[in-house]
Structure 1
């Protein structure tokens, strides 16, 4: 009896009777004589129950041979015919799929037959499929999740069914169809049914509350496994029964007991006492607070909890204490001496190497005594070395711009201009860098030496800290403008002031209004500022890229006259003569090798500044 396996399931054994064939040794020994041969040369049974042949010779012997030969030929012919019938076609006879008889057909004919059977059962195959997901039940529409019978694959599977000749003649084998499903669409549909029953894995963890470690115990996740879900649906689709979708519960590798042990054996002892860090330049005490800030417990995707000391966190936690053993590197600097750029050499520093310190520290943290580690100081180069600065091509003055300011150096407005100029003086801007004036000076407040001076606020002049810095901003803007540098951000004043070039000027107000430019050259540049009692100058030192940069103005248009506004007298009232409003275009023109290379357009509309009078309006 033959048992055929489909996947991991055994089909029931066929209980039809089988034919047993007993082999006979041929020929029979010639020495045996027929003791009781019947007349006419027939077979006779010898003693012992053995069958024997008639004696040789005579007509009887020849007749027997003819008969035997004919019988053998007939049997062989019959066997060949039966075998030919049994093995006809690509699909074994007796094979059915979804009730369709495919046996004895060619692969192509069987596929057509099965395709027709699928079409006849469209209604049944498209019937909603009940599924059970956890405690939720739902129905899936087969077409919406891509459930279908793969006709070609099913026929190929039917062709592989093994059967003996007799089974091919009288046997019947129902082959299950090969079912396909869109795994992603099925997973999305099943997750919608799963809903809030799912839960993410709670990872094990240890966090710090001051010097107290807090344990987070792990919890397993409960979710679908898309491959297992697809297998269950493929196997259960045509069963006529609801399909139960398996849920996978995944446990983190680290258990709650292991988390508690890590708290007891590592976290608590770690902050019980300081650790002494010894270097060639002296020793530093690492206090428990610094240990807690740098000792991290993290879990990977599998939920394996591990501990490490983060070197950079440790450095931050130790802060100024490392100054006892470290030496800060010093950048190279450039200044102007006797009208020429001069470089002050850089200096290497010494910095604690934290790359291996974490492991060494982690090894002693569980100990109650002998809490000492050895640290290595490594050389740290400055960000700007002497060689790098020398290679930036800062060799000549490429632009300069000066504006006049009234009031002398003693006025608050003048002092604000000078304070900003001193802050920006000798600033180095590397190739590709963007300079921000607000970013460089920060908030211009009283603590930095800025004073109250007139600023424009809501359309009128009022006292404000840092007033007058707009004049320095305009001077710096023009210096970078005529150096041909990229304008990133600037905003002209609301009113026109004759001390500034029209359109090509900029105001500033922290933090909303900023002035920014980008060094769009391959060379470094140095900002040089200088001042006298009534003027401010900004120069840019670098390598010339353009032969010349100049401004061409268009005519003023849309001119409006100022109105007179009377303000309440007082310390906050600032009088103004007023100015016309107008629109104007300015063009920055670049020259290279004596020819105009490009030009950029700048446009602005100035409002008419009212004539402010501090006093009552005449009746």
Structure 2
């Protein structure tokens, strides 16, 4: 019998060793590049960050906001072109609840990105794309679409218009009108495209068959209970010994309006215009609020006092007093 002789160990495969060494080298280089990327990018907004194609990276948040506004400001405020029932109209974004929130967008962009692909890519000019924050005020957009459509649709909602010296009833009519839900989505998407590319072309606003939600009887009720009394004579608003008259010939038609709430007409007050009309009349007059603080007269205070006075018949009843003491 031959003695058991131990077998010689199999020779190591040189190719495998090289692969192991190469893999280790790649890991070391990758870690080095990752660390270098973190060290080199101390900016609030990481280098290579873009929003709608605009490079906003490599600096502070304020700098990023300025870059974004400078590059896209004109597009943000550019009116949109719409067609409603074949007629072309325009829509101003700032009046329709459409905007690019630069501050919020930059806050999103300023978040630290520890993704190795992004960090290492930043060393070699890689791009990090951040979606813009573009909130849409649905209610404001729907109202703006209705205004912009104007006479383009055949459907008319019942309402009351305030004109110099009089209130005018407008009775509703069935017909074609904008499809509010579909229109809002289409216009919001077109606005984003316009901000990104500079043009959205002409947007065809969807229309549908519509019936007025405000009945003729409701228009008559609103005319009788509010509109006619409101426009019958001057009202005077007083606070802290100071007062201002507002009349139906000029002031009241600028301030008063009507909106639909669940099929009913409710009066509205243009607070911005109201503030312009009374100007500095109530400067120095302070109102003690329910929380104990004293603050200046606000347009909402004036509108509240007007609400009761506009329904009055006598001079005394048509004088609205803003109480300065909450107690």
Q: Which TM-score band applies after superposition, normalised by the shorter structure?
A: 0.3 to 0.5
Q: Normalised by the size of structure 2, how large is the TM-score?
A: 0.40
* Higher-RCO chain (CA-CA 8 Å, sequence separation at least 6): 2
Higher strand fraction (1 or 2): 1
Larger of the two Rg values belongs to structure: 1
